[in-house]
Amino acid sequence: MDNQDDLSQFLTSRRAKLNLQQAGLPDFGGRRRVPGLRREEVALLAGMSSEYYKRLERGNAKGVSEAVIDGISRALQLDAAEHSHLHELIRTANAGTHPQRRYPTSKTQINPSVQQTIDAMSSVPVFVQNGRLDAVATNRLGRALFSPMFDGATAPVNAARFIFLDPRAQTFYRDWEYNTRQIVALLRVEAARSPYDRQLSDLVGELSTRSDLFRKLWGAHDVREHRTGLKSIHHPIVGDLDLTFLGLDLTSDRGLQMLVFSAEPGSASWDGLQLLANWALSHGVEMTSKDSTTITNHSLDK
């Protein structure tokens, strides 16, 4: 993944999304050769010279200040996730040719005390993932909830690989198309944060080669945070579930995010989770995190 190219393509893609009316600029008519705003118009809105902005959009981020990043974010009307992504792209573009020591690869294990904590959260599904979206750990109910992702998979189990390459994902995720966009947007964030992660590069290469949809979405350069939302799934054991999720960054294990899922009390999804919890307990479903390559698989037959 080329940092300068990513920076250039991200800025170009955001510029193409804005028109003159959205930017608050007058339209004097005439034919426009490019979609969205011109570079000169972005520079005007950001309060900088056209040449400076053009240099930045070509991937030359040397000496870019916080004020410049803020100005471009305002001009392009970036949201919080896009602003943070731009900051990461500029930071890594300035890292030079020996950045590996500064950007470690995604973690693949959690602290035993964290595993103990999530195991104790027996009434809600918990799923811990790294920036590549590898499954690092779950509790029993989390393992049961995402059983189609784990069943028959080789380690490391990966949410992106499941959603794009496993046909079962299109049935499991009732809003599959939305989830594909979400997954790619999350990987884009991680690519800016950890541009020298070889396993991430290999994953992106594999998905780009094997999935036309992934390749198309990757080229859109959309980014997104994964903090809260709704997950609608069709589980092979208990049927349809509508679950809210909360994403929490683990301060004790930097680079890992814990996703906690829940259902509205008294709802059909609440009843479904209770049924799934009982089923998982009776079938001995579990997940271990002593080694990221070791996943304890159990039969998931009804």
In this structure, CATH architecture of domain 112-283? 2-Layer Sandwich (3.30)
CATH of 3-102, one of 3.40.50.720, 3.30.70.141, 1.10.10.10, 1.10.260.40: 1.10.260.40
The pLDDT of residue 286: 62
Average pLDDT of the chain, as a whole number: 88
Q: Which residues contact 288 (CB under 8 A, 6 or more apart)?
A: 294, 295, 296
- Of the pLDDT bands very low, low, confident and very high (cuts 50, 70, 90), residue 109 is confident
Q: Which amino acid is at 246?
A: L
Percent of the chain with pLDDT over 90: 73
Task: State how far Cα 142 lies from the chain centre.
Answer: 19
Enter the tokens of residue 154.
């080789």
Q: Which residues contact 251 (CB under 8 A, 6 or more apart)?
A: none
Distance (Å, whole) CA 151 – CA 250: 26
Q: Which of 166, 131, 132, 164 is nearest to 147 (CA)?
A: 166
Distance (Å, whole) CA 228 – CA 245: 5
Helix axes 39-46, 66-76, angle to 10 degrees: 120
Higher local confidence (pLDDT), 289 or 292: 289
- With a cut of 60, say whether residue 299 has pLDDT above it: no
- Of the pLDDT bands very low, low, confident and very high (cuts 50, 70, 90), residue 155 is confident
- Domain residues of the chain, as ranges? 3-102, 112-283
* DSSP 3-state of 31: coil
Distance (Å, whole) CA 19 – CA 37: 6
The pLDDT of residue 288: 46
For residue 284, is it left (φ>0), alpha (ψ between -120 and 50) or beta? Answer: left
pTM for this prediction:
0.86
- Of the pLDDT bands very low, low, confident and very high (cuts 50, 70, 90), residue 297 is very low
Higher local confidence (pLDDT), 287 or 74: 74
The pLDDT of residue 35: 82
The predicted-structure confidence for 11-29, as pLDDT tens digits, reads as follows: 999 999 999 999 999 887 7
